[in-house]
Chain A
């Protein structure tokens, strides 16, 4: 008995390399980050001193943090909302059999392969003021050209749209897989009872898709809250600090303003914030699936 236990436990050795990597590159930096967040370290010098809670007090009074915080929520929840609605619509459309649907699926999914950074640069040609592709279309309708990215709030929404546009394919593919797993006899039974297509969607499709929706929403939410590359490509967080996400703010505070201690504090609170949101949603969705 004892021997058997030992010989079984030996396979635990298999996860040692993975655990080591996580300890060195995630856990250790996280602990070190807690320490650094109480200092005024500038990122390179040997000398620094402890400043107590100063960085945390600054966090809660810093307007740039407030903006980045709200933007992160818009990037996370705004894109997730759009990806859910559009992804579901695309999936419902492309679940029907008609010519060209598989080509269309592939085309919608293709941008997922493209680096978000490059997608940002491509979108520059659409939103730029001078000869911008969107302004060219506006001109066709006799409208005046708009400098899209000059206004902070508008820039935030455009970046959110771009992220949703690029990754809607992920949701669509998940929903298509979900739709295909719903037995058609449910719809047949419903149509015998005289249920219309909208009611079918409301009372059969959506409830049956709940597991797919919950995983897609989690994936989108985590992706949106981490948003970094597109922002760097399009605005670099500007104009001013208007379109920063918490991620780009950490990067700028560290490499731009050489305020490593403060950047650590922002990073840690960002980490806590995203962990809390993700866990909240995971619990919510788990409950929903059980009661279904």
Chain B
């Protein structure tokens, strides 16, 4: 009886928190569906649903192009992050020499570097090697700064695979390189899901790198398209909001369907 009344309170409290957390999304939807001339409170759901904001976002804001640019950048980056990360993690997890320990702590140290602290020299280096306004430029930079997380996750995971498997393979005449491809690689599926999700979200949401690496309007990523839409002097906030809604829709939908993997990925990256 007592626990039941406690549970009612818990449910109420959880409901309150949920309402607070849904408020931003609710307002986003309301603004996106209102006509720009509608000056009622943001809290009010539009009396008449207005889809023209989405038209404006697509035709004037170039959201569809930005979505496809971001998709391309994210897919390529994540692919490289997975490949380079899994490869780099294998020797770091299996051969614990002094050199490799040093390299591992160097790689993990990069996770702490705020990328903007080397903005000036990174940007001027990219200008020199013609990496600005090119897809490979932004992809390389994203891969570099997301790679430490990937190496960290993969090397923790590989360390948890029993060494006896490697030894058995070596007795059967398998070299260390083949061992990686035949024994280790097929087992990396669950951790790869975590890597793809975590780094994929970061690449999709990136603003700080694309802000100065992609200045050509035709190459805009989603974040850039949204930010230029919001900051235009004659800004149409409703259309900009519709664009923002389109930009977060793919990630939110993915999260709703793959929730378990998203949360597992987060926990994996935090707990050794």
Could you tell me which A residues sit within 8 Å of B by CB distance?
A: 7-12, 14-15, 17-19, 21-22, 24-26, 28-30, 32-33, 36, 43, 90, 93-94, 96, 98-101, 103-104, 106-119, 121-126, 131-133, 136, 170, 173-174, 177-178, 211-212, 215-216, 219, 222, 225-226, 228-229, 232-233, 246-248, 250-251, 254-255, 260, 263-264, 267-268, 270-271, 274-275, 278
Contact = CB atoms under 8 A, between A and B. Distances in A.
B124 A32 contact: yes
B120 A263 contact: yes
A123 B42 CA distance: 12
Contact residues of B: prevailing secondary structure: helix
14 contacts: A7-B175, A8-B176, A15-B91, A26-B113, A93-B10, A93-B17, A103-B18, A108-B17, A109-B262, A117-B227, A118-B226, A121-B227, A174-B271, A254-B120
A228 B116 contact: yes
A94 B151 CA distance: 32
Which of B10, B18, B21, B84 has the most A CB atoms < 10 Å from its CB?
B21
Contacts of B135: none
A15 B90 CA distance: 8
A219 B270 contact: yes
A101 B113 CA distance: 37
Given A36-B121, A133-B27, A115 B204 contact: yes
Contacts, number: 278
Given A113-B248, A117-B226, A174-B267, A247 B7 contact: no
A18 B223 contact: no
B168 interface: no
Interface in B67-110: 84-85, 87-88, 90-92, 94-95, 99-100, 103, 106-107, 109-110
Contacts of B90: 11, 14
B41 interface: yes
A222 B107 CA distance: 15
A121 B240 contact: yes
B47 interface: no
B117 A247 contact: yes
A230 B7 CA distance: 37
A115 B247 contact: yes
A18 B147 contact: yes
A287 to B, nearest CB: 16
Contacts of A278: 112
Contacts of B87: 14-15, 17-18
Which of A33, A103, A212 has the most B CB atoms < 10 Å from its CB?
A33
Given A12-B91, A15-B103, A212 B270 contact: yes
A182 to B, nearest CB: 13
Nearest to B28: A122
A94 to B, nearest CB: 7
Contacts of A174: 266-267, 270-271
A127 B135 CA distance: 36
A26 B110 contact: yes
B13 interface: yes
A225 B115 CA distance: 11
A33 B262 CA distance: 37
B259 interface: yes
Interface string B135-154: 00000110111010001000
Contact of A25 (B122, B255, B272): B122
B1 to A, nearest CB: 15
B144 to A, nearest CB: 4
Nearest to B226: A118
A216 B212 CA distance: 31
Contacts of B7: 96, 98-99
Contacts of A24: 125, 140, 144
A134 B241 CA distance: 18
A233 B120 contact: no
A271 B118 contact: yes
Contacts of B212: 255
Contact of B205 (A7, A104, A117): A117
Given A118-B244, A133-B42, A18 B85 contact: yes
Contact of B13 (A93, A106, A121): A93
Which of A43, A104, A116 has the most B CB atoms < 10 Å from its CB?
A104
B159 interface: no
Contacts of B111: 222
Contacts of B251: 113-114
A24 B109 CA distance: 16
A125 B42 contact: yes
B262 to A, nearest CB: 7
B207 to A, nearest CB: 5
B88 A18 contact: yes
Given A109-B259, A122-B24, 19 more contacts: A8-B176, A10-B176, A21-B144, A22-B144, A25-B125, A25-B145, A32-B124, A104-B18, A117-B226, A118-B223, A118-B248, A133-B23, A246-B116, A250-B119, A250-B120, A263-B120, A267-B119, A268-B117, A275-B112
